A and B are shown apart, each in its own frame.
Chain A
Amino acid sequence: MTDNPAWDQLLDEHRTLVMGPLWLKLLEDVVRSVTPRYPPSVYSETGEWNQHARENLVQDVTVHQLLEQHQLSYIVDSSTSTSMATALLHRLVRRTLAYNRRRTVIDNILDRCRTLHSFESTSGPGPSNERLLEAVRHVARIPRVGIHKEERAPSVYTTDSLRDILQIAQDHLGSSFSERDLAKILEHVLTSYLPSALEQIDARTHAPSPELGPDQEAVVADVLSELFSSMSQDQRTVVAMKLADRSDTEVAHQFGISRPTAAKRFREAAKFIETAVVDLPTRVQDAVLRELPYRLEADLPIPASNSDRQAPTQETHE
């Protein structure tokens, strides 16, 4: 027994029924709370979040996650209160939504692969983990195309790239590799299409420039990655604030410095970015600069209230 009667009732129900009305009610509440944040055109089978769509999701989470994958046992083992269990249910519902979408991504790629390659029927033990992971390492280097907002299932690869992937699978797994083997490779490679990535994509109004080819997309990704890792945390925060149209006064307040120093810091950071992109083709430069604000979202501090926006008159830590 704990000192939390509501939690005790949930534990008792789990011991006796595995999952009963109390857990079901908790899950229904969580689904009602989570779904409005997800575009129904992308995440709901019916295209809207009505009672029927929510019930489908509740059943999906219950049967496949809480019971088949024993995630209810995990939640009970990990939690010490109803609020902790609720938080884990929230996370599970979000993962289920994202996972269903990811399945669609891989299914579509496999559909396209079937038009390019005749798969052998599945039989025998299949390739070893080592050979599979070796193929995964090579496929991971194949460039991907950008994802567009509201796209139910991103295409991810061009047709030429798909041919390359099939060739890699053949080279590493032999000519008789199965569709299931290819699906395993894609599940490993497309891990980055999992929950947080999809949620971030949905939160944007931006899509990578469609006119860029896969090679240029790869350059954009490399430059952004290099920029992100070589800039200091302070530099990223300054740039993020300026790109979000925050005033020098706000930047000054954030760092406890004077307004002119804030402006100087931004100029230094801008020069740093300019140096990184100056030698790139104009189209790639534009793509990097368009993408940068979204990469820096996490570094953007919460706006201070008006009363807090007075910049200090003296430098506190320069």
Chain B
Amino acid sequence: MTSSPSLPSWLSDATAAHLSATNADVNAVDTADPAQASGATYALANEPAKGQIRRLEPMDADGTAARLVLVVNADSSSAAVQVVLLTNESEMGSDRDTRLTPDLTGLPYDVLALFDVTAPAWYVQLGPVLATIDLDEIEFLPPAGTPVAGPEDARWNWKQDEHDSLVRLSGECARQIVDEGVDNFVDPAALDLEAVSDVELALIVRATAPLMDRGRLCMPLEALRKLDAHRVDPQSRYWESVRCLLELVPRHDDLVIAEPLDRLPIAPRAHINNDQLVVALSAVMEKMPNTYRSLGLFTLGSLWQGETLNAWETSAQSTLHLKRATSGVWEMFVSGRRHQLVVHAVDETDAQTTTASGHLKTRRPAHA
């Protein structure tokens, strides 16, 4: 409890009146705060979804101001959201904006949703869920003000500044999405027929081959050697998909990488926090352009022991600065820059997204 020895009487009166009017429970535990809630509870509450009002934080601590946003779309396969900027300057509203009042949001203050100021952002940039609204409900709300008259209207420059502030927050995500560069890797163990079944092999091939064909996925050379050495039975019903993958390789030989994944031991892993594959991926992240901050890893849940792929707790012996952001998405700091690792366990189904213990499991990616 903070003491208040020198609080002036007008402020004591004002805060007392405020508390009385709002009946605020100031000691309530915020379940959206990981420090006060269990990891599983936080993960469930933190899963990005349409209609959430959340804080959007910059990728790096460079002084860029965080802002409140409304999530209007969430794509778990790329771990990216589309957000609309919110502001407390509701008197600046125009016919393009919508005022979200406390009775709609449950928040104590009014916010203005600037539907013409929108951008994509990575999951790891999202702060706690502050409120959730029904997007269909706000579609028919009246406009928040009159149209902006032109450059001489004060709201013209104001909105440009608001747009700039969202661009500063979302720049890395927007550029990576527009670039459509190589930002996915396949787990070498997932192509090793000594470690996986025919069915699992087919699953991983079906998920990754289209990405490789579009030039978005790197294939470790070591994994291809393993695949070639063991050969799948041509009579097998999975042969066709494997053949597709092998036929893709000569056409995209620039995507077959010899370093650094080929030196990795291909074996079931102990914990994602200490796994050498993730160490290798952090080295890949370090070499990526500054605007590339998200990396997808296609793997099989069966290759990871127990629930280690989805466990909330970080290992005490962890050599990585790895923190679970939400289901299947991990936050990593590499050379002082924030990245996100999106783990696609392609053998997980939607029905298995929540285990009996309440731990979230990775959703099946859309490509699968």
A residues contacting B by CB (< 8 A) are: 1, 9, 12-13, 15-22, 24, 59, 62-63, 67-71, 73-74, 77-80, 83-84, 87-88, 95, 99, 129-130, 133, 136-137, 140, 187-189, 191-197, 200, 221, 224-225, 228-229, 295, 298
Give the residue name and chain of the A residue nearest to B16 (CB): A18
**A-B contacts, 28 listed (Cβ < 8 Å):** A17-B2, A18-B19, A20-B2, A21-B4, A21-B7, A62-B14, A63-B14, A67-B15, A67-B18, A70-B22, A71-B88, A73-B107, A74-B111, A77-B68, A78-B88, A79-B65, A137-B146, A140-B149, A187-B91, A191-B155, A192-B152, A194-B154, A195-B154, A197-B154, A224-B152, A229-B150, A229-B151, A298-B157
B143 neighbours in A (Cβ, 8 Å): 133
B residues contacting A by CB (< 8 A) are: 1-2, 4-8, 10-11, 14-15, 17-19, 22, 24, 26-27, 35, 55, 57, 63, 65-68, 88-89, 91-93, 107-111, 127, 130, 142-143, 145-146, 149-155, 157-158
CA distance A10 to B243 in the complex (A): 61
User: Top 3 closest A-B pairs, CB basis?
Assistant: A197-B154, A70-B108, A70-B109
Instruction: Verify B154–A16 contact, CB threshold 8 A.
Output: no
For the complex formed, measure the closest distance between the CB of A16 and the CB atoms of chain B, giving whole angstroms.
5
B24 neighbours in A (Cβ, 8 Å): 18
Give the residue name and chain of the B residue nearest to A19 (CB): B15
Instruction: Verify A71–B109 contact, CB threshold 8 A.
Output: yes
Instruction: Verify A15–B27 contact, CB threshold 8 A.
Output: yes
B63 neighbours in A (Cβ, 8 Å): 83
Which residue of B15, B146, B151 contacts A18 across the interface (Cβ within 8 Å)? B15
Instruction: Verify B91–A18 contact, CB threshold 8 A.
Output: no
CA distance A11 to B208 in the complex (A): 46
For the complex formed, measure the closest distance between the CB of A290 and the CB atoms of chain B, giving whole angstroms.
15
Instruction: Verify A16–B2 contact, CB threshold 8 A.
Output: yes
CA distance A19 to B12 in the complex (A): 9
Interface centre among B68, B110, B150 (most CB of A within 10 A): B150
For the complex formed, measure the closest distance between the CB of B66 and the CB atoms of chain A, giving whole angstroms.
5
Instruction: Verify A16–B19 contact, CB threshold 8 A.
Output: no
For the complex formed, measure the closest distance between the CB of A72 and the CB atoms of chain B, giving whole angstroms.
9
Instruction: Verify A84–B66 contact, CB threshold 8 A.
Output: yes
